[in-house]
Structure 1
Amino acid sequence: MNAPVTNPDLRRIHGFPVSGDQLVVGGLPLRRLAARVGTTPFYAYDRGLLTERVAALRHHLPAGLHLSYAVKANPMPAVIGHLARLVDGMDVASAGELAKVLDAGMDPSHVSFAGPGKRAEELAQAVAAGVTVNIESPAELEVLTREAARIGVAPRVAVRVNPDFDLRGSGMRMGGGAKQFGIDAEEVPQLLRRIAELDADFVGFHVFWGSQALRPALIREAQEKSVDLVLRLTEHAPGPPELVNVGGGFGIPYHEKDEALPLAVVGEGMAALSDRLARDLPEARLGIELGRYIVGEAGVYVCRVVDRKVSRGQVFLVTDGGLHHHLAATGNFGQVLRRNYPVVLGTRMAAAAVETQSVVGCLCTPIDLLADRVELPRAEVGDLVVIFQSGAYGASASPHGFLGHGGPAEVLV
């Protein structure tokens, strides 16, 4: 959701204002922001855009919905601290993320801990903190309750369900078929009976079917099937669920042919789902967790052109950035086909695109390609390249140690 334009001299691109020849991030023209950061490359996250995105979700989605932030999308402490005041809960995937969330002041009872392979010491930390653990396997349940008995605290548990449906059309399918995530739906009744035998507080269900979905009909179908599944499984539960988390899955448009998700349409479907849940499971609250959708479009990655070279007719802009900072932009973070993220010369916004150029990093590998043959103004050494849609799965999802260049700076502005 774009911020309202209050200055008629400003235009916007991917939600960010443009003033003269410079992109504006967090109210600062890009060169001024770069000077304030003091180094390139860097990630910058716009707190205003984060606030607006959560406000849009509150406006379009049903009242009473439990909105959680999936910390794995962007675990920068300043981002977590800002969002902790805006969302209802947070989902973490490690003890490291848990520590950041607790440091930000999030109520532990509104924190969930998901993901396979939780170590015994991580489960002990979760129990001691009072967060809800999403059980990913029968063995994990046994380790959790053993650690809880040692501490003397009954653990809060939810069951992460690997659904018995498989929806095509999401960017990444996280459920259905054989998966390392969650417990197969047909095995859940037995696990619920085991929870009833143990000293554990049953909180609810978590059905995470996929991510990066841009079609409202797909999201609605997945959520409806998730609730159908939960209603069947509740018959075996040790008590009524407090929370029914139907995952997230909301996508953002990364590429030229992608269309933005019509949030109002999604909201209409979720309103009907919320009404159904209120009727059939009146003690349960409907919940979703979103990471990419909240932070993805609020962040940019900025690197500096350090060399301009021509090889057999192709222009390469060699930057001080690369895949060691932004693996996803190079297409090496699980994408099947490599496509360019939106990219601009953030210090030549008033100039026309007159040349086909490829933006590459400083690493000794041909896959260090940030943008392949894009139309840009003619770039020179010192220009700042900006890659949009970089707020999620950027810095923390990249191999900073490769070739010893180190990691990028991060700022919330």
Structure 2
Amino acid sequence: MKPAEHVAAFGTTDGELRVGGMPLTRLAARVGSTPFFAYDRAQLDARVERLRAALPQRVELSFAMKANPMPAIVQHLARRVDRIDVASGLEMQAALDTEIRPERVSFAGPGKTPAEIRQAVAAGIIVEIESTTELRRVLAAGDDLGMTPRVAIRVNPDFAVKGSGMRMGGGPQQFGIDAEQVPDVLREYAGSGMDLLGFHVFAGSQNLNAEIIAEAQRRTVDLVTDLAAGLAGPLRYLNLGGGFGIPYTERDRPLDLDAVAASLHNLVDGQIAQRFPEASPVIELGRYLVGESGVYVTRVVDRKVSRGKTFLVVDGGMHHQLAASGNFGQAIRRNYPLVVGNRADAAGDQGVNVVGCLCTPLDLLGDDVELPPADIDDLIVIFQAGAYGLTASPTAFLGHPVPAEVLV
């Protein structure tokens, strides 16, 4: 998608980008300083409504908090989704502070500490088991607390998903128990004092290919159907993962959600309804829920020309928005969509480099970007900044202030 398409999604007032209906310069004055992240609550609501309209009614939405744990966003989405997934003790506490009931919170991720596991068992949330070590620790916590732990087994599938930004299943992985080992684990720990609800299979993230996602969901249901034969009771928890991607560069095309939903309707109404009548399938989304709702706003503090190349030096950088610099997993660095926010309607007519304030050439936010003439105090806006932004960046590097975050 091109920057103009992102500008159209937010809208403009007198040539200025709007966020949450507010002109950018007014929003910047309200925040009080740059850089900052701003998230548009109307876009969050629209994305949830779009998912509800497309996906089968029986499917439950889970927000993967790791994508954006800003408290205001967590609280906002907690009133609109069915579940929350967390990946640390701090995220767990944030989820427990919402109106989502503890039994609808899941805790996934490798390397859970005994203290975190004990906290999760005590709270009554679902612990998604990544290894037999974790399983033994969960059972020990349950014995010590006099409680029956609620668990699901995260399965490392025996297939890989092509086209994902990050592959998180298939082959050797730190995520989950290998699918071929799960039947033995079920036999060994049968009757061991846990409430085993079901399975979670998450094979990859940031995928824009609807057919690949649909195929992964079909193969996941086939895999879980085989594994469920080893459960002592009915399967009640079926987390199909997510992996829905958003377009970050001009070459990216948005995910065809309707195509994903059509395939999922067939699965839910067919195989899942027949084999697992007590389970509500879960789709776990982070980036797809919040990513497109956010912008990163930074101010030009210097403009210089070096051997014929113009550089716009801004007061932000990769220490706040690592992904836009290409240092958060991009195999080939490509520009995120960005504009001069206080002249968002103006056409670009010159190629410039937008660079941050850090002492490293890696601090590059825009490489040879066509922008209208920009100078000191103009506002540069980077789109697609609602997920894996501030908390996924090296904020302590060089000691610059932490930027503000606002939900508008």
The one of 285, 288, 296 equivalent to 1:290 is: 285
Structure 2 counterparts to residues 76-115 of structure 1, below 5 A: 76-115=70-109
Match of 1:184 in 2: 178
Query: Are the equivalent residues in 1 in contact too, given 2:39–2:406 (CA < 8 A)?
Result: yes
2:161 alignment partner, SS class: coil
Q: How far did residue 170 of structure 1 move?
A: 1.4
Runs of 4+ in 1 over 3 A off after TM superposition: none
Correspondence for 2:116 among 103, 122, 126: 122
Q: Does the 8 A contact of 2:236 with 2:276 survive in 1? A: no
Structure 2 Cα separation of the partners of residues 391 and 194 of structure 1: 43
Q: Which residue of 2 aligns with 1:317?
A: 312
The alpha carbon displacement at 1:341 in A equals 0.3
Answer yes or no: is 1:241 the counterpart of 2:242: no
Instruction: Specify the alignment match of 1:65 in structure 2.
Output: 59
AA matched with 2:91: E
| Residue pair 1:77, 1:104 contacting (<8 A) in 2 also | no
- Partner secondary structure for residue 15 of structure 1: helix
Judging changes above 3 Å, is the alpha-carbon distance between structure 1 residues 166 and 408 closer, same or farther for their aligned structure 2 residues?
A: same
Secondary structure in structure 2 of the residue aligned to 1:55: helix
Q: Deviations over 1:385-408 (max 9, x none)?
A: 000000000001001000000321
1:17 maps to what in 2? 11
Q: TM-score, normalised by structure 1?
A: 0.96
- Match of 1:112, SS state, is strand
CA RMSD in angstroms comes to: 1.0
Distance 2:118 2:345 in 1: 55
CA distance in 1, matches of 2:188, 2:69: 34
1:376 aligns with 2:366: no
Q: Aligned ranges for residues 322-361 of structure 1 at < 5 Å? A: 322-361=317-356
| Structure 2 residue corresponding to 1:267, chosen from 261, 265, 271 | 261
- Equivalents in 1 of 2:260, 2:403: separation in Å? 35
Check if 1:367 corresponds to 2:362: yes
Q: Distance in 1 between matches of 2:189 and 2:233?
A: 10
SS in structure 2 opposite 1:196? coil
Contact 1:128 / 1:151 at 8 angstroms: preserved in 2? yes
Sequence identity (%)? 58
The total of aligned residue pairs comes to 403
What residue ranges of structure 1 are gaps of 5+ in the alignment? 1-10
Q: Note the 1:128-207 alignment, pairs <5 A.
A: 128-207=122-201
Distance 1:124-1:16 versus aligned 2 partners, 3 A rule: same
Q: CA deviation at 1:349?
A: 1.8
Once residues 157 and 403 of structure 1 are traced to their aligned partners in structure 2, the CA distance between those partners, rounded to angstroms, is 42
Structure 2 alignment gaps of length 5 or more: none
Contact 1:14 1:388 in 2 (8 A): no
**CA distance in structure 2 between the partners assigned to 1:207 and 1:184 by the alignment:** 11
Aligned counterpart in structure 1 of residue 48 of structure 2, from 45, 54, 66 = 54
Corresponding residue number in structure 2 for 1:386: 381
Provide the rounded CA distance (Å) in 1 between the counterparts of 2:107 and 2:369.
41
- Residue aligned with 2:327, SS: coil
Of residues 388-397 and 348-357 in structure 1, the stretch that sits farther from structure 2 once superposed is 348-357
- Corresponding position of 2:29: 35
1:215 match: 209
1:111-152 CA distances to partner (integer Å, 9 max, x unpaired)? 000000000000011011110000000011001110121111
Change (3 A) 1:191 1:406: farther
> Cα distance, 1:12 vs. partner?
6.4
| Aligned match of 1:306 | 301
Deviation at 1:238, TM superposition (A): 2.3
